[in-house]
Structure 1
Amino acid sequence: MLTAGLISWLNESRRAAQWQAEATLKSLRENEVRFGRITESNEEALWQRETELRLITDTLPVLISFVDAEQRYRFNNRAYEEWFGHSTAEIYGKYLWEVLGESAYQMLRPNVEQVLAGKQLIFEGEIPYKDGGTRYINCIYVPQFNRQGIVEGYAALITDISEQQAALRERKLAEAALRESEARFRNLADTAPVLIWMSGTDKLCNYFNKPWLDFTGRTLEQEMGNGWAEGVHPDDFQRCLDTYTNAFDARQNFTMEYRLRRNDGEYRWLFDTGVPRFAPTGEFLGYIGSCVDTHDRNLAEKALRDSEERYRILTEVSPQAIWMGDVYDGLRLRNGGISYCNQYWLDFTGLTMEQTSGYGWIYAIHPDDRDRVLKSSMQAIANGTNYEIEIRFRQVSDGSYRWHIVRGLPFRDAAGQTIKWVGIASDIHDRKVAEAALQQLNEMLEQRIQERTAQLEAANKELESFSYSVSHDLRAPLRHIAGFIELLQKRNSSTSLDETSQRYLKIIAETAKQAGILIDELLTFSRMGRTEMRYINLNMEELVQEVKRDLVTETQERKINWHIKPLPEIQGDPSMLRLVFRNLMGNAVKYTQTKNLAEITVGGIDNENEVVFFVQDNGVGFNMQYIHKLFGVFQRLHSDPQFESTGVGLANVQRIIHRHNGRVWAEAVVDSGATFYFSLPKLLINESDERTQANSAN
């Protein structure tokens, strides 16, 4: 309004001056025509009027121009000369494009055309000038009308706002920088692994970051102001509010812990840190705070405290001495050595904690053990390894020494550095006494074993002598009996004997033969306990096939289906195991002779630690009620004369299998067959060699 009033006043003054000048010029021309000259007084009046107008406009800090309808400059105040360096006289009457230049004129041309059409304009723009510079200007174009209402030009009031525009740009840049800074802050706050809040000077919260909203599951609108307090645990609310209010009033930092409800309804402990915010001018702006979820850490710390308390209680009531010591620095204890001992130690030794600390515990050790204990413990500590030492500690009750076993181990930090040593001492005195007594008993037993071994060796020699005697002295009479019977039978061919005599000779011959067989089997049985065993890898299928071929003479004219299944290899004595299969397979042939078709199966089962072999038949079987007699010497379960037997074969089987550390057993049903089993442990070659040596020694 002020600018419009100024322009209106200037226009009126200019028009009044112009009309007066035109009237004066007209009068002068008429006088000139009439008199031929212009008076000096009229010219002076016109000059004076224009001078007054210029004095007024030249004092204004704006550029004022009057342009006629032909776009020629008719008036410019001094500001034009100051801005652009052109005098008003120099540009008077010149066209706009001549003064402004083509580029500037083309920018202003639409506005000029509108104002000359009678429209008042206000606009801003950056105008290039002939000198190559630019100015940012605010323009007010006001059309000028004559008394007939025709536009005869326009007045331009131009203000240089370049500085204001620069300030505006700086302000905009500052605002943009502020927005960018705020965006960075929000991005940082929203991606930070903590909950962030801000409050204003009214103590009400006006900002929460995304992790806060995600944690609570509420919207920003719900949390604003005091809304966030709805999630604080009721038991923590007043304490939380008092802490915040007191710090706010004192403009001080604060920390506090409280429970805040999470989106799943669980209250979790948060550690909140608040800091006052101040403007660069020192003006207080409010508070900013960050919260860290310490719930799991608090639970872990509580569990640790509970664990430490339980550990303390256990150590104090433990019936063992428990100690803790500092690490060694070279050969010296860095912080004085033993730093803790439980109540058991104090009660046992009668020492106080002060007396035990450092090296005091050494004086509770038996003098004969001190050097050994210190040497062993120092070496273990220097190497950072566990150690175990047997020590005698003096007990305060009667001054006697009792044996303890002390175990120490290093306690390391996360980096693997030893920071403490922990140990436990257990009373083993009664065990040591028992061990000493046991050692004495073992020595006594060892002596008795040696004595019994000598007795057994003597008995074995006597048994060998007996075996030789049986082999030599008993066989000789039997050979004589057999020889004379054979002579009598030959003589019988030429001398006639009655039927009874011939039957007697036959019985005597068979009895002598049976006695020889019995003597041979008894000798075999006795040798089984003394024969040196040879452990080798055996192909059991080949061994069974050999035994089967040996039985051909006994199976002639009989129908026998042999079922020899795949058998695993084992380690054992070949001659002894051949005798086992010879007895079992021979029995199967013998006790199936009443069957028209004998079915005999030989198989094996490979278990984890042993191999089980079996011989199965469909013969006469036996009554399981007498199974306990089956493997005894001279024990027979069949008295039928057609099943000839000495009762020694299965006893030999059992002795051989037992010498191989195996087992032997049988199953049977009367008239439905029998199955004999024996097992052999799986042995490595070196184990079998050791077994051979052990059996040789036996």
Structure 2
Amino acid sequence: MDEFPIVQICRTQQRVDKRRTGMYHPQTQSQIVYEISGESISDDKTGEFLGGIVVFKDVTEYTRQIAAQIEANEKQFETIANFMPVMVWTAKADGMHDWFSQRWYDYTGLTVEQSLGEGWKTPIHPEDLVKCERMWSNSIQNGVEFKTEQRCRRKDGMWRWMLGRALPFHDDSERVVKWFGTCIDIHEQVESRQEARNLKEQLQRVIEYAKVTLWATDHQNKVVLFEGDVGRKGTRVNNATMIGKDLREVFDEFQGQDLDRWNKAIQEALRGNPQDEIVERVVSHERCYRTRLAPLWEKPQDNGAGDGASVEGIVGIFMDITELQEREMQLKAKEKENDRLFANAAAAKEANQLKSQFLANMSHEVRTPIAGVIGMSELLLHTTLEEEQKDYAMNIHRAANGLLTVINDILDLSKVESGRLDVEEVPFNISVVLKEVNSMISFAARQKNLVYENFVQSDLETAPSLMGDPGRLRQILTNILTNAVKFTSEGLVTLIVTIEGQTKHTTTVDFTIRDTGIGIEEEVCKRLFQPFTQGDSSTARRFGGTGLGLIISQGLVELMKGRIRLDSRPRFGTTVSISIPFGKPFPRDLGLPLVDVASIPDRLQNDASVFCVNAKCTTRRPPSARSNTISMFQSLPFTNSSITSQPQDRSKKAPEGIHVLVVEDK
């Protein structure tokens, strides 16, 4: 019976505070709620305890009204919470969640059973859960606000950033009896913040890479912004230490005129006048800087000063331009040098063109007297001479022929350099050209006791005519093979001719010339295709020659749209590879006669008629002299009956059928 209020009053002789208790009515079997309170009764004089009084007040209806109001309030709270664009939740004092708004279930896709208690942890990102649990535990233990950012998984699997917050609800005794919290979607804000952070880092990297420093001051010239890790003293600085300093303290290197100009630029910027460029040299560490200043307006400058706009500071940027100025000076020097080189190149080109033009024009003038020397030496050799005189005449003939070869090479080189060398496009038989070249080189090889071998692909020996320049082809092969024979003292020289490839309109022929001669160093090979170049200075003395053969051959090969390559090793010989595309004759070309270089001498020997005319009166020359010309032709393989001679008579024409007309003008 201790639980009854009257018993408690009798035992403790103290009052009993209001309390509520429920009882069942015996007749209606309904619950009646009573509010019970009690007081002790004592003697006013002696203070002796006399008894107690207990009052029962029926508050059943009042309790029903209060419960209905609470239920209505809870429904209103749920309605408001569900209407809010955030997730709302509540938790007991121990932190166990006991209610979530509908938005929680719509977002997470969880059920009520999965969410209550500690189910709130399920959709939290594992990387954020540890931090979130630690902060929630701290809030429960200390009754302080809970606030954290974490990623929460949406029911479609997407992670979004949420701001979780909770505040404790205290009773009259300051005990935490409830927690009310929210989860707000801040995904866009977090991404924007991260993007801004990335942009700032990028800007810092750009500033660092550009080697510039961006700064700003207030109206008192105190630094409020300093970005960039290079100070004016050429050393790295701590940006944080610059904040709050006077601008003149940061840039304290100026002296004399530079200081006056700097202060003037600052004052102009504070008046609202931008200073586009200030260039100064800091003598202390020999660096050059370019600075730009602009006023920092409190309001947009578009409003104008009349609208209350004022300058609240200066924004500036400076950069180290020492290397830039050095490069500009170097660039100017290079431009000056290039101008000089261009002028020299133009002068050299003009001189080369003049030289080539001069050689091309003068070669004919030089070759004419040499041809006379060769002709006269040949005539002289057909006369009766003593042995010593014959040696003299042979030396004259050899020297003149050698000089003519040099002049012909120089003429060809000048034509190559001046672009005046042309190649023909006529039908010819390549096997005939190869036979003539082989005959010539075989004789030269035998003179040096060398073995000369040539291999021609069978398809070429029986091939129909090709379109090209047979004379230039013979010149190319003769030049390369003559060099091979010249620079080979023992062993063999080989010519291999094959078809490299064919198309509908072309046949590409590959010519490979190998020898077992002295070979060439790799460094020398790189400069061999230059005019007047040989392996070394001793080569010209040992073997002779002008060094023009390769460059002329290269020019001819390139004119024929081919390519030439040289490979060589000292003491192992040299290999020259030439590839030339020849055209295939069109039907209209098939009826043209083939240019047969080798057959020309045969026609002269068998069918030609020679008619000699003396331009001067024959009585003015001794008979022996007049017969020298006829004797020379008679010594050649012409038919004697085809050689005739008579004094010149300008009124008469040459006899019919004459192929060679010789005019003596002595």
Report TM bin, short chain: 0.3 to 0.5
Answer with 1 or 2: which has the greater Rg: 1
Q: With structure 2 as the length reference, what TM-score do the two structures score?
A: 0.41
Relative contact order, higher structure (CA 8 A, sep 6+): 2
TM-score when normalising by structure 1: 0.39
Bigger helix fraction: 1
